[in-house]
């Protein structure tokens, strides 16, 4: 430990090191439940690429594991510390280095908060579309590391589609530059995409070139109430089948709606079994909402309420964004799942999840990026109740198994981390796991970067 601190101090300013165990303990884990976390030896908060390189060279020389971190808003344990590790927190590397309206790119450091980039891009008439629910606090580096999504993915896609190039510090301290800042480019293997979603297990991202888009018109939303989840999912299928491209298409089940009602006083009727939110940012959003509203009515909606202006739309979307927080009030703890299925199987996924909740006698609320088939079942439980905790864990596993049975994936946007490592092996298969491990060895032969995560 003394040798580690001495070597780190030689290349870092004094305020970049934290060794107080009471403080380092707060860096030990992200927001996931059921994920083990160790005690870090030290937390390092660099401000420059050179400082990150110094940390990695020191760690390699002493064979000390390093866990890269962003804002720790993740839900898979990907940022959890291991015993004796160096936690490498990148939140102080928070500069927006460039925004180019001509090239439609932004060049940023990993600690830039998603919302800060969005606002900066807006000042140039541009936007950065990926918008995770934690966008006000999560960082771009974390978004890239977990390949995060968000509410607007149905139209604009996920983080991976906006990362054009990266600067990455490798395990031995070398600096690798991948990708491009051009509109097109196919030179060599796509190493940029390889790092997106790698959860800090292959290298430390220290700079990103991100694609931007022209800022769209303000979106208008509608809310459609349904007497059943099946009817709401039927509406989703009708909307997508008819060729509509909403900027947002979100679904909340009865449990989620009631939780939001209780915390936000939304005034939605308790008889609502499912609430579908659709939004358009097209030149004529009212016409698009009218067409989608008609499809919702055909599918059995009992009420379709289009927003009259942006303020009403934002209120509706706020209900969706606060759903997880609302569900957290039901029990002392929650376990957030992230299973994505083909859109055509969305109804079966939600009905199957409800059956799991009944079988295990648990409260499980579901919010979904319905246009993507990406469901977020939220298992509510009391960690002080051993039996309920066991049932929560078992129900979580059953939900993931259901997703795979329906042709889906164990994670649409939250990542693997610690929480889903065993399940990843089931999804990838033996050959897939072998290749993943080979790639890991090529980039990190000593296994020092975020050990125990992904594969």
User: Do 154 and 74 reside in the same domain of the chain?
Assistant: no
Is residue 411 within 8 Å of residue 138, measured between CB atoms?
Answer: no
Name the residue with tokens 């003394």: 2
Domain containing residue 79: CATH number: 3.30.43.10
Last residue of a domain, which of 89, 119, 136? Answer: 89
Give yes or no for a contact between 90 and 139, defined as CB atoms under 8 angstroms apart. Answer: yes
Which neighbouring-strand residues pair with 365? 378
My answer on whether 303 and 392 are in the same domain is yes
| Residue 318, C-beta contacts closer than 8 angstroms, at least 6 positions apart | 264
Q: Is residue 207 part of a domain?
A: yes
Query: What distance in Å separates the CA atoms of residue 227 and residue 232, rounded to the nearest whole number?
Result: 8
Same domain, 205 and 241: no
Residue 421 lies in a domain: no
Of the residues 179, 214, 249, which one is the last residue of a structural domain?
A: 214
Clarify whether residues 233 and 324 are in a common domain.
yes
List the beta bridge partners of residue 179: 165
248 and 377 inside one domain: yes
Burial 219-258 (b: 16+ CB within 10 A, else e): bbbbbbbbeebbbbbbbbbbbbeeebebbbbbbbbbbbbb
Domain CATH number, residue 204: 3.30.465.10
Q: Are residues 159 and 33 in the same domain?
A: no
Domain count, the chain: 3
Are the C-beta atoms of 403 and 385 separated by less than 8 Å? no
Do 323 and 374 have their domain in common? yes
Show Cβ contacts of residue 26 under 8 Å, excluding neighbours closer than 6 positions.
none
How far CA 438 is from CA of 305, 411, 435, 441, in Å, comes to 53, 22, 5, 5
Structure tokens at 8: 């780190």
| 311 shares a domain with 249 | yes
Give mean pLDDT in consecutive 10-residue pieces for the chain, a chain of 455 residues: 94 97 96 91 98 98 98 95 97 98 98 98 97 92 95 93 98 98 95 97 98 95 96 98 96 95 81 94 96 98 93 87 91 94 98 98 97 96 96 96 98 94 95 97 98 92
Is 133 inside a domain boundary? yes
**424 neighbors 407 (Cβ within 8 angstroms):** no
Q: What is the torsional sign of CA 260, 264, 265, 267?
A: negative
Does 288 lie in the same domain as 194? no
Take residue 256 and report the two structure tokens written for it: 């989620």
Q: Can you give the residue range of the structural domain that contains 151? A: 96-214
Two structure tokens written together for 389:
């905790």
For residue 395, tell me if it sits in a domain. Answer: yes
Residue 259 lies in a domain: yes
Does residue 324 lie within any of the structural domains?
yes
Are β-strands 163-169 and 105-108 bridged in parallel, bridged antiparallel, or unpaired?
A: unpaired
309 within a domain of the structure (yes/no): yes
Looking at the structure, tell me whether residues 234 and 352 fall in a common domain.
yes
Asked if residue 67 and residue 106 are part of one domain, the reply reads: no
Q: Which of 179, 183, 208, 180 is nearest to 107 (CA)?
A: 208
Q: Would you state the structure tokens that stand for residue 234, as one six-digit string?
A: 């039927």
276 and 400 in a single domain? The answer is: yes
Q: Kindly tell me the sign of the dihedral angle through the C-alpha atoms of 268, 278, 259, 395.
A: positive
Among 405, 421, 450, identify where a domain stops: 405
Kindly state the tokens that stand for 22: 């009471």
Report d(CA 236, CA 115) in Å as an integer.
Answer: 28
**Residue 209 lies inside a defined structural domain of this protein:** yes
Instruction: Give the E-state strand segments of 41-156 in sequence order.
Output: 42-44, 66-69, 86-89, 96-100, 105-108, 126-127
């Amino acid at each position: 430990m003394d040798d580690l601190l001495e070597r780190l101090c030689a290349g870092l300013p004094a305020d970049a090191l934290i060794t107080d165990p009471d403080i380092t303990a707060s860096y030990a884990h992200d927001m996931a439940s059921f994920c083990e976390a160790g005690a870090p030896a030290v937390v390092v908060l660099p401000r420059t690429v050179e400082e990150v390189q110094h940390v990695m060279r020191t760690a390699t020389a002493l064979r000390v594991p390093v866990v890269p971190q962003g804002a720790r808003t993740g839900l898979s344990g990907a940022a959890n510390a291991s015993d004796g590790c160096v936690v490498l927190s990148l939140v102080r590397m928070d500069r927006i280095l460039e925004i180019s309206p001509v090239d439609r790119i932004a060049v940023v450091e990993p600690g830039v908060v998603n919302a800060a980039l969005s606002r900066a891009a807006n000042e140039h008439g541009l936007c950065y579309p990926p918008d995770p629910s934690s966008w006000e606090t999560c960082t771009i580096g974390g978004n890239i590391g977990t390949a995060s999504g968000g509410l607007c993915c149905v139209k604009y896609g996920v983080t991976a589609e906006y990362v054009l190039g990266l600067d990455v510090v490798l395990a031995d301290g070398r600096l690798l530059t991948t990708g491009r800042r051009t509109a097109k480019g196919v030179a060599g293997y796509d190493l940029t995409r390889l790092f997106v979603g790698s959860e800090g297990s292959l290298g430390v991202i220290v700079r990103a070139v991100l694609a931007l888009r022209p800022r769209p018109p303000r979106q208008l939303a509608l809310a459609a109430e349904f007497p059943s989840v099946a009817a709401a999912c039927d509406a989703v299928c009708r909307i997508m089948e008819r060729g509509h491209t909403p900027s947002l298409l979100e679904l909340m089940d009865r449990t989620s709606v009631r939780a939001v009602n209780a915390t936000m006083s939304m005034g939605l009727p308790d008889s609502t079994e499912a609430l579908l939110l659709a939004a358009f940012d097209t030149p004529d959003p009212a016409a698009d909402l009218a067409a989608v509203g008609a499809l919702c009515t055909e599918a059995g909606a009992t009420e379709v309420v289009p927003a009259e202006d942006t303020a009403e739309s934002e209120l509706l979307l706020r209900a969706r964004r606060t759903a997880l927080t609302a569900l957290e009030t039901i029990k002392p703890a929650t376990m957030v799942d992230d299973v994505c299925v083909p859109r055509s199987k969305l109804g079966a996924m939600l009905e199957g999840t409800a059956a799991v909740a009944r079988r295990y006698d648990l409260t499980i609320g579901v919010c979904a990026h319905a246009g993507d088939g990406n469901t977020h079942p939220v298992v509510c439980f009391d960690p002080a109740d051993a039996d309920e905790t066991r049932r929560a864990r078992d129900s979580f596993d059953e939900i993931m198994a259901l997703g795979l049975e329906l042709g889906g994936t164990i994670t649409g946007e939250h990542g693997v981390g610690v929480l889903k490592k065993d399940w990843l092996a089931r999804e990838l298969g033996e050959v897939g796991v072998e290749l993943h491990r080979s790639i890991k060895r090529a980039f990190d032969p000593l296994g020092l970067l975020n050990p125990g995560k992904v594969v």
